[in-house]
Amino acid sequence: MAITEQQLEEILAKYPSKLQKNRKKHIVINDSSCGAQTIEANTRTAPGIITNRGCAYAGCKGVVLGPLKDMVHITHGPIGCAFYTWGARRNKAKSDDPTQNFINYCVSTNMQESDIVFGGEKKLAKVIDEVVENFHPTAITVSATCPVGLIGDDINAVAKAAQERHGIPVLAFSCEGYKGVSQSAGHHIANNGLMDKVIGVGDLEKASGKYPINMLGEYNIGGDSWEIERVLEDIGYEIISVMTGDGSYEKLKNAHVAELNLVQCHRSINYIAEMLEIKYGTPWLKVNFIGVNGTIDSLRNMAQYFGDPELVQRTEDVIARELARIEPLMEQYKKICEGKTAFCFVGGSRGHHYQGLFAELGIDTVLAGYEFAHRDDYEGRQVIPDIKTDADSKNIPELHVEQDPNRFKLKLSPEKMAELKTHIPLSYYAGMHVDMNEGTIMVDDLNHYETEEFIKLLKPDIFASGIKDKYVVQKMGIPAKQIHSYDYSGPYAGFNGAVNFARDVSMGFASPTWNFIVPPWKEEPLLTGSVNEEGVA
């Protein structure tokens, strides 16, 4: 079922007029007769809208830095911000060296009123000293929360002095929550810091194995990265580093030796991918390990990039083996899922990635969107030159990198690059729009009110989203699937992940619990139903 412009107007009519105009630009009904459609994204959320967006600190410390296991991540600020990022994301980590895995720790300077008045630099310095003494970590990060920037604490100076004092890297990130418009600003800040202070610090000049790669924008939620690594290693890739799921300073510092960078979550990490290409000449490949087809395409594209017939063959062998194993399982779940519809509203890449997996199960995604993505994540990277930088994005410093005089090396001839680019997404991402069907709808920064209204209108069978909107959806009688933290399940990536996802989604439909729950519209008399249907067509 599709939605009409008029129905959309009716939903927005509830807003004050200024807000109506604002929200209208963030919503697009996919219609190929309109040519290239534009969506507004990465702009400020209107105050008072129940958005699902977080802050720059969440993107920096919570998402990108948090999973780096051999670093102690200090939150410089009052206690709340630190507490709320403690173990909230289910990024898993295991460590060969148990003394260097701090993933379960939450460390804060716990600023008090007096620190706000007199400044928190001294306390921060002392906390760093105590952390070194208690944990002996490989490295330390310091992330600033809102008040820190306002009172003018110079966390860079404190970090620098501590680094000299202790002889271990101490990295400062000015990711105060008021910067930018969402988590996205924090990703950028974290990317800059890691590029500037970590990647390339190691003295490795050459990878030991064949086909060395980095996996960027994979955070190992519910073990996703482990499932992907299983397959990649089986095929013969050497994984230099994962950014940042189950990642570490120790690995990240040698990331420059990779010959290809895979980008899973484009939104959160494309900055590093670009900078690595400029600095070391390493191209990046947009991959998508969510869904069986996504995984297969990604593996084949990787093999093509390296162009080694042996690798191509090994890739096909592994694909065939995995498919033979999982296809019967997927079939059985497909029977349950076939013909259903979904909403898919998540983060900055999953809103797109999971559509493919839904489609494999016979589920149509009728509404999709991102919480904090930019226009290129919807429309494709070709729009980047057209994106206006507003005051909010100008606040985030750009890091300008240059070719590394010693380590820059073209991995492929320019001709070969050009040739490959015609059929694989090398240093390119096409966004979600091209993959969505006619009449479906894209919504940027969906809020609680719109969630409810769109559900009433489109009556999806399942809603893939996060914890904050999950209960609105379930109270409306529709199963919700958490795609941020997977409802304590996972992995969902790769071949085994697809099966797990299929199982969990099927369970959402097949659980006898739903026999007791009848959403109101399912009981509506047929007549109103059909009138609606006509109005919609």
Partner 1 sequence: MNEKTDYRDVNENPCHMCMPMGGILPIKGIEGGMVVIHGSQGCSTYMRRYISEHFSEPIDVGSSSLNEKGTVYGGEKNLKQALDNIRKVYNPKLIGVLTTCLAETIGEDINRIADDYLKERNLNNDLVIIPVSTPGYGGTQAEGYFRTVREIVAGLAQPSPKHNKLNIIVPNISPADIREIKRILALMGVEYTLCPDFSDTLDRPYLEHYSKMAPGGTKLEDIRGMPGAVATIELGETVGDEYSPGRFLADNYGVPLYTLPIPIGVKNCDAFFNTIKKLTGKPLAESIKAERGRLLDAMVDSHKYNFAGRSTIFGEPELVYAVSQLCIENGVYPAVVATGGAGAKLTNLLRAVVAECPEPVAILTESDFCEILEQSRLHQVNIAIGHSEGRYLTEHGNIPLVRIGFPIHDRVGGQRLLAVGYTGTTLLLDRITNTLLENKYRTYRTDMYDLYYKENSGPPAAAEDEVIGDDGLYSL
| Residue numbers annotated as active site | 55, 58, 89, 187
For partner 1, which stretch binds (CB under 8 A), given 98-106, 306-314, 331-339, 422-430?
98-106
Q: Which is closer to partner 1, CB of 145 or CB of 264?
A: 145
Which of ligand SF4, partner 1, none does residue 108 bind to, with CB < 5 to 8 Å depending on kind? partner 1
Q: Which of 107, 235, 344, 483 binds partner 1 (CB under 8 A)?
A: 107
Secondary structure E strands in 424-532: 441-443, 462-465, 480-482
For partner 1, which stretch binds (CB under 8 A), given 122-130, 231-239, 312-320, 492-500?
122-130
For partner 1, which stretch binds (CB under 8 A), given 41-49, 264-272, 277-285, 356-364?
41-49
Instruction: List, in order, residues 6 or more apart from 173 with CB less than 8 Å away.
Output: 60, 61, 65, 141, 142, 143, 144, 155, 189, 190, 193
Dihedral angle of Cα 466, 66, 274, 197, to the nearest 10 degrees:
160
| Min separation Cβ 54 and partner 1, Å | 5
Residue 170 near residue 162, CB atoms below 8 Å: yes
Q: Which of 30, 39, 42, 54 binds partner 1 (CB under 8 A)?
A: 54
Binding pattern for the stretch 167-186 against ligand SF4, x by CB under 6 A and - elsewhere:
----------x---------
Two tokens, residue 224: 């996703």
Q: Which is closer to partner 1, CB of 123 or CB of 381?
A: 123
Residue bearing tokens 């410093």: 397
Q: Are strands 212-218 and 480-482 parallel, antiparallel or unpaired?
A: unpaired
Q: Which of 81, 124, 232, 420 binds ligand SF4 (CB under 6 A)?
A: 81
Q: Give, as ranges, the residues between 401 and 440 that touch partner 1 (CB under 8 A).
A: none
Residue 55 in the binding site for ligand SF4 (CB under 6 A): yes
Q: Which is closer to partner 1, CB of 82 or CB of 258?
A: 82
For partner 1, which stretch binds (CB under 8 A), given 147-155, 187-195, 337-345, 351-359?
147-155
For partner 1, which stretch binds (CB under 8 A), given 120-128, 221-229, 314-322, 423-431?
120-128
| Angle (nearest 5°) at CA 64 between 62 and 65 | 75
Q: Give, as ranges, the residues between 201 and 240 that touch partner 1 (CB under 8 A).
A: none
Which of ligand SF4, partner 1, none does residue 52 bind to, with CB < 5 to 8 Å depending on kind? partner 1
Number of residues counted as binding partner 1 (CB under 8 A): 79
Q: Which of 22, 27, 39, 57 binds ligand SF4 (CB under 6 A)?
A: 57
Is 38 in a helix, a strand, or coil? coil
Residue 63 in the binding site for ligand SF4 (CB under 6 A): no
Chain centre to alpha carbon of residue 393: 19
Report the C-alpha gap between 533 and 103 in whole angstroms: 51
Q: Which of 1, 19, 46, 146 binds ligand SF4 (CB under 6 A)?
A: 146
Two tokens, residue 169: 């890297």
Residue 254 near residue 240, CB atoms below 8 Å: yes
Residue 252 near residue 241, CB atoms below 8 Å: yes
DSSP state of 400: -
Q: Which is closer to ligand SF4, CB of 67 or CB of 177?
A: 177
Which of ligand SF4, partner 1, none does residue 471 bind to, with CB < 5 to 8 Å depending on kind? partner 1
Report the C-alpha gap between 81 and 48 in whole angstroms: 21
Which of partner 1, ligand SF4, none does residue 16 bind to, with CB < 5 to 8 Å depending on kind? partner 1
Is 346 in a helix, a strand, or coil? coil
| Min separation Cβ 360 and partner 1, Å | 30
Instruction: List, in order, residues 6 or more apart from 486 with CB less than 8 Å away.
Output: 90, 221, 222, 492, 504
| Angle (nearest 5°) at CA 61 between 258 and 383 | 65
Which of partner 1, ligand SF4, none does residue 131 bind to, with CB < 5 to 8 Å depending on kind? partner 1
Residue 109 in the binding site for ligand SF4 (CB under 6 A): no
Number of residues counted as binding ligand SF4 (CB under 6 A): 10
Q: Which is closer to partner 1, CB of 86 or CB of 509?
A: 86
Q: Which of 91, 108, 315, 489 binds partner 1 (CB under 8 A)?
A: 108
Q: Which of 66, 67, 78, 431 binds ligand SF4 (CB under 6 A)?
A: 78
Residue 115 in the binding site for partner 1 (CB under 8 A): yes
Is 200 in a helix, a strand, or coil? coil
Residue 372 in the binding site for ligand SF4 (CB under 6 A): no
Q: Give, as ranges, the residues between 453 and 472 that touch partner 1 (CB under 8 A).
A: 466-472
Distances, alpha carbon 325 to alpha carbons 157, 330, 428, 450, 495, in Å: 55, 10, 32, 41, 9
Residue 130 in the binding site for partner 1 (CB under 8 A): yes
Nearest to 350 by CA among 244, 482, 247: 482
Q: Which of 10, 36, 94, 134 binds partner 1 (CB under 8 A)?
A: 134
Residue 61 near residue 87, CB atoms below 8 Å: no
Report the C-alpha gap between 60 and 430 in whole angstroms: 25
Report the C-alpha gap between 122 and 348 in whole angstroms: 37
Q: Which of 80, 307, 397, 535 binds ligand SF4 (CB under 6 A)?
A: 80
Burial of 113 (0-12, 13-18, 19+ CB in 10 A): exposed
| Min separation Cβ 209 and partner 1, Å | 35
Q: Which residues bind ligand SF4 (CB under 6 A)?
A: 55, 57, 77-81, 145-146, 177
